Structure 1
Amino acid sequence: MERINLNYANLGPDQFERLIVSLCMKILGVGVQGFAKGPDGGCDAKFIGTAQHYPSDKNRWSGTMIIQAKHTNGFYSSCSDKKFYSEKSSHTVIGEEIPRIKKLRAAKQLDYYMLFTNRRLSATANTKITEYISKQCEIPVESISLCGLEKLDMYFNHFPEAVHHAGLDPVDSPLIVRTQELAEIIEALAQFKEKGCQVLRDHSPVIRVPYKEKNEINQLSQEYEKEWRRIYLKEEVFIRNFLAAPENTRFVEIYTSTTEHFRFKIIAKRKDHQSFDALVEYLMDLLFNRASVLAQSGHQSLTRALLFYMYWNCDIGKKVDNTEEAEDAASNETLTS
């Protein structure tokens, strides 16, 4: 039988939850109740009864099992990452769940706790996190189960039908973009900035959609665009200089390819985000999670600046339909803060 290799990072959180419910129906039973938001905003699945196969056929859990699914779109994410777990911080994935687990435990609505994630989980991290949850929530260690990427792969190859029953549809997948080309540009931009390179700019007028109108048709909030423009508009000259430098012809081609890729991906998935603000922030999280080059502290600001430049330059985002009106308005446009 062909081995199943799922790219969990390219799934959306809802798709990942469906996968976990389908898997739990196999190892616990068909009575698993799907993920639903609670009054405190948390999202749990639940099984009440005696598990069919967990943790083993001879020693099965019996009681109320609370199931959580923690998805990440990062390729190399680990349960050892400080944003997932840190004993010194409550502002982590695990830390933020502790009060909810305690509440369920105190209300006698939790006998066993199961957490599934597509992060890598080492034996050391498994022990540390399990003991931390046990201590904080007064749950026996043997009543806690953490399942990371490696174990998920093992489960889905043992229960391949669980993948089929989850009914994953590529159309439902989230906005996913390539990061390698953008990382190349950011590295080159950083070097260009460090050297203090300058290029004589082309001062001919650039015809584009009026900025305020562009914000309206893209549903970019006034508060977000003002802050975006305040911080990153000053980098527009620098980025334009970089792209105008004769030695950077290759990066112009990469930039064009990247913006074209982003533009069509954004069009296809725009409906999944209520505002352009949310879409931009989703993109930033995705880029930083997937490319270590972009996640570097010195490169994060450049990455945000380049995305602003793409929007400012009308390489991404909606444009007005009437081109002639846009050109006339652009020639007379004066931006006011």
Structure 2
Amino acid sequence: MQAKHISAPNKSCSDPDFAGLLGKEHAKVKRLVGEGICDHYLVFTNRKYSGGADEKYMKDLLALGVASASIIGVERLHLALDDYPDIRGTLPNLLDPSPFRFNPDDLAEVIGALHSYTKDDGDSAFESAFDFEKLKMPLKNKLNDVSDEYYKQVIVAQSMPHFDRVAQFLQNPRNGEFAALYHDAADELKQKIIVKRAQFGAFDDIFLFMYEQIQQKRDVLKGKRRLISIVLHYMYFNCDIGIKQLEENADVVHADA
């Protein structure tokens, strides 16, 4: 069992330096296996851990002779602390490793109601009236450090087609209670992002962090998780979160205007 801690934020197990760190342990692991005192190899790290990196790491480690090998990344550590809060009290450092904490319950409730709202309207629920060719947000993206790749491939391609429906849902008087929950959550996130912004790299990482925190409501959001990113991206697009300037309002052109 080993721990690989790094002080720099936003590091990943997919980074070459992590592969190098594991590689340096191979000789030691092989020796311990040969001595009969290492059957299982477990690594804890505060880096992000994607499943794509798992295959090669596991193949290399198992080739050393261990019966099993596992890498526990920061996401699983956060989930463990959330699922078993008593663990936190046993730690020598009681500081929360997360950049910030927020209550995902309100947004989970909004997402559940939004899902029902769109489901009731059938296939037409996600037709958008935004003219994407006329949407220009380079200034906002530059101010917030949203990468072009993330903006085009994730926000524009996957989330923007649903923004009109989100707006209709929030503006419907019958959904006033959910709109209030949405704005409460957006206000909380906006303030915490401002205070903790330096702990993140690109704003892309903030989107990922918020998504991971909200999706922990696994049972409530079953079958609805795609709406998490849509709602978060709508918040950003609608200037509920992120740095904005007055000039940005002129960048949004609605197709039915």
Which bracket does the TM-score occupy, shorter chain normalised?
0.5 to 0.7
Instruction: Give 5+ residue unaligned stretches, structure 2.
Output: 7-16, 29-35, 125-135
Within 2, Cα distance between the matches of 1:224 and 1:94? 24
Q: Contact 1:221–1:277 at 8 Å: present in 2 too?
A: yes
**Is 1:225 aligned with 2:225?**
no
- 3-state SS of paired residue (1:69): strand
Question: Scaled by the length of structure 1, what TM-score is found?
Answer: 0.50
Q: Give the match for residue 264 of structure 1.
A: 191
Within 1, Cα distance between the matches of 2:204 and 2:240? 16
- Point out the structure with max Rg over C-alpha: 1
Q: Give the match for residue 309 of structure 1.
A: 234
Q: Give the match for residue 187 of structure 1.
A: 112
- 3-state SS of paired residue (1:318): coil
Higher percent of residues as strand: 1
CA shift, 1:216, in A, is 0.4
- 3-state SS of paired residue (2:216): helix
Task: Give the residue type in structure 2 aligned to 1:169.
Answer: L
- 3-state SS of paired residue (1:277): helix
Q: Give the match for residue 101 of structure 1.
A: 61
Question: Scaled by the length of structure 2, what TM-score is found?
Answer: 0.64
Task: Give the residue type in structure 2 aligned to 1:224.
Answer: Y
Within 2, Cα distance between the matches of 1:230 and 1:113? 38
Mapping for residues 205-244 of structure 1, pairs under 5 Å: 211-227=137-153, 228-244=155-171
Task: Give the residue type in structure 1 aligned to 2:238.
Answer: N
Q: Percent identity?
A: 20
Mapping for residues 51-66 of structure 1, pairs under 5 Å: none
**CA RMSD of the aligned region, Å?**
4.5
In structure 2, the CA distance between the partners of 1:184 and 1:96, relative to structure 1 (3 Å rule), is farther
- 3-state SS of paired residue (2:243): coil
- 3-state SS of paired residue (1:68): strand
Q: Comparing 61-70 with 238-247, which one deviates more in the overlay?
A: 61-70
Within 1, Cα distance between the matches of 2:225 and 2:161? 16
Q: Give the match for residue 101 of structure 2.
A: 176
Q: How many residues align?
A: 214
CA shift, 1:261, in A, is 1.3
Q: Give the match for residue 140 of structure 1.
A: none
Q: Contact 1:189–1:242 at 8 Å: present in 2 too?
A: yes
CA shift, 1:213, in A, is 0.8
Within 1, Cα distance between the matches of 2:101 and 2:158? 26
Q: Contact 1:185–1:255 at 8 Å: present in 2 too?
A: yes
Within 2, Cα distance between the matches of 1:287 and 1:120? 11
In structure 2, the CA distance between the partners of 1:114 and 1:14, relative to structure 1 (3 Å rule), is same
Higher relative contact order (CA 8 A, sep 6+): 2
Listed one character per residue, the Cα deviations across residues 85-142 of structure 1 (whole Å, up to 9, x for unaligned) are: xxxxxx5887554224235x36xxx899797775999xxxxxxxxxxxxxxxxxxxxx
In structure 2, the CA distance between the partners of 1:44 and 1:283, relative to structure 1 (3 Å rule), is farther
- 3-state SS of paired residue (1:289): coil
Task: Give the residue type in structure 2 aligned to 1:262.
Answer: L
Q: Contact 1:273–1:279 at 8 Å: present in 2 too?
A: yes
Q: Give the match for residue 220 of structure 2.
A: 293
In structure 2, the CA distance between the partners of 1:120 and 1:44, relative to structure 1 (3 Å rule), is farther
**Is 1:68 aligned with 2:46?**
no
Q: Give the match for residue 14 of structure 2.
A: none
Listed one character per residue, the Cα deviations across residues 222-245 of structure 1 (whole Å, up to 9, x for unaligned) are: 121122123222212111111111
Task: Give the residue type in structure 1 aligned to 2:196.
Answer: K
Pick from 325, 330, 337: which aligns with 2:249?
Answer: 330
Task: Give the residue type in structure 1 aligned to 2:249.
Answer: A
In structure 2, the CA distance between the partners of 1:256 and 1:114, relative to structure 1 (3 Å rule), is closer
In structure 2, the CA distance between the partners of 1:45 and 1:64, relative to structure 1 (3 Å rule), is farther
Within 1, Cα distance between the matches of 2:182 and 2:79? 33
Task: Give the residue type in structure 2 aligned to 1:98.
Answer: M
Listed one character per residue, the Cα deviations across residues 30-60 of structure 1 (whole Å, up to 9, x for unaligned) are: xxxxxxx6544649999x8xxxxxxxxxxxx
Listed one character per residue, the Cα deviations across residues 139-165 of structure 1 (whole Å, up to 9, x for unaligned) are: xxxxxxxxxx98x95xx99xx6xx33x
Q: Contact 2:186–2:241 at 8 Å: present in 1 too?
A: yes
